[in-house]
Amino acid sequence: MAVNILFAAHPERWDTYQAPLETALSKAGVAARLSTSLPAEEVDYIVYAPNSEVQDFTPFTRARAVLNLWAGVEDVVGNPTLRIPLARMVDHGLTQGMMEWVTGHVLRHHLGMDAHIHGQDGVWRKTIPPLAQDRPVTVLGLGALGRACAEALRALGFAVTGWSRSPKDIPGINCLAGDAGLRDALRTAEILVLLLPLTAQTENLLNTARLALLPRGAVIVNPGRGPLIDDDALLDALDAGHVGHATLDVFRVEPLPPDHPYWAHPRVTVTPHIASETRPDTAAQVIAENIRRGEAREPFLHLVDRKTGY
Ligand code: NDP
């Protein structure tokens, strides 16, 4: 019998995801009825994105799991009507995209590329950057994305420190945890990459006191979530020159309002939440595999821990 899968995401996503999902489900051997509209009581699985119309999961009485299309789950994990397993997106297309974006932006700042790209003014600026081995980079968050980025930066030669909630042992990376670990991770960070999920514990993690721990002139690269940073504190630190530059992909309000001070700030680069987009072809395979597992009564992959919120 076919399983009923509700595609509960913004309608424009349907055009992008329908064919990849149908192909992936067929390859996974799952006979499925996939639709943007099904009677709630007939739905077996919900493929979900936060801007979906579905906010109340109560009517989905036989649904076995909600399968989030994005890696971040802050918009759904706290929904009190959600009482079935929630899986998030962990996918090699998403990971590869993030590694490319993070290494690109770290190299931009490490090499001081801006001076040459914007400085075609007849001045022979022969400033030699240090080798990567002499550039300490810290990655906050060592999960699917943070670890891959830390390892890619390490492979380029950077001196990488990583910080996570639980202690880790990753070859070549100085792994820290806990409050004291965070202080040490910030004190050395000439370039700081934020790849933490947004939870009650991580909101405003980068506040005035923690920004003050960074070396003067440090660069912040944030593809994690906007509210990880206290915006006013960051603007003050940028104005004071304590933070040399912030490359920000994510914001408290998205799209970032046109009059937001970040747009015009000379030390800020804004990118429009493009660090890594979920890739339909590879993401569809992850969704299909989880549905196959659900039907085979095997454990779901990438389940969100509702207690930690990620
Ligand atoms: P994971 O859940 O795999 O990893 C999260 C990491 O953060 C883990 O290492 C975890 O520690 C650590 N962490 C969580 N809470 C804390 C805490 N309170 N203190 C210290 N460390 C903590 O997530 P992903 O790597 O897959 O994704 C990270 C985030 O990236 C997403 O939540 C999303 O917000 C963002 N993202 C942004 C995209 C973009 O285009 N801009 C695209 C995709 C994701 P531990 O290992 O101990 O559990």
Q: What separation in Å is there between the alpha carbon of 175 and the centre of ligand 1?
A: 15
pLDDT tens for residues 247-293? 999 999 999 999 999 999 999 999 999 999 999 999 999 999 999 99
Inter-residue contact 223 to 102 (CB < 8 Å): yes
pLDDT tens for residues 178-236? 999 999 999 999 999 999 999 999 999 999 999 999 999 999 999 999 999 999 999 99
Which amino acids are annotated catalytic? 225, 273
Identify the band that residue 51 occupies on the pLDDT scale cut at 50, 70 and 90.
Answer: confident
Q: Does domain 94-270 correspond to CATH entry 3.65.10.10?
A: no
Atom of ligand 1 nearest to the CA of 167: 47
Closest CA to 300 of 66, 133, 125, 79: 66
* pLDDT above 90 for 1: no
* CATH superfamily placement of domain 3-91+278-295: NAD(P)-binding Rossmann-like Domain (3.40.50.720)
Intrachain domains 3-91+278-295 and 94-270 with the same fold: yes
Return the residue whose CA atom lies nearest to atom 17 of ligand 1.
Answer: 165
Sheet bearing 191-194, strands edge to edge: 174-177, 159-164, 136-140, 191-194, 218-222, 243-248, 268-270
Identify the band that residue 50 occupies on the pLDDT scale cut at 50, 70 and 90.
Answer: confident
Question: Structure pTM?
Answer: 0.97
| Cα–Cα dist 130/202, whole Å | 32
Lining ligand 1 with CB less than 6 A are: 71-72, 90, 94, 141-146, 164-166, 195-199, 201-202, 223-225, 249-250, 273, 275-276, 310
Q: How confident is the prediction for the chain on average, in pLDDT?
A: 97
Q: Where are the domains of the chain?
A: 3-91+278-295, 94-270
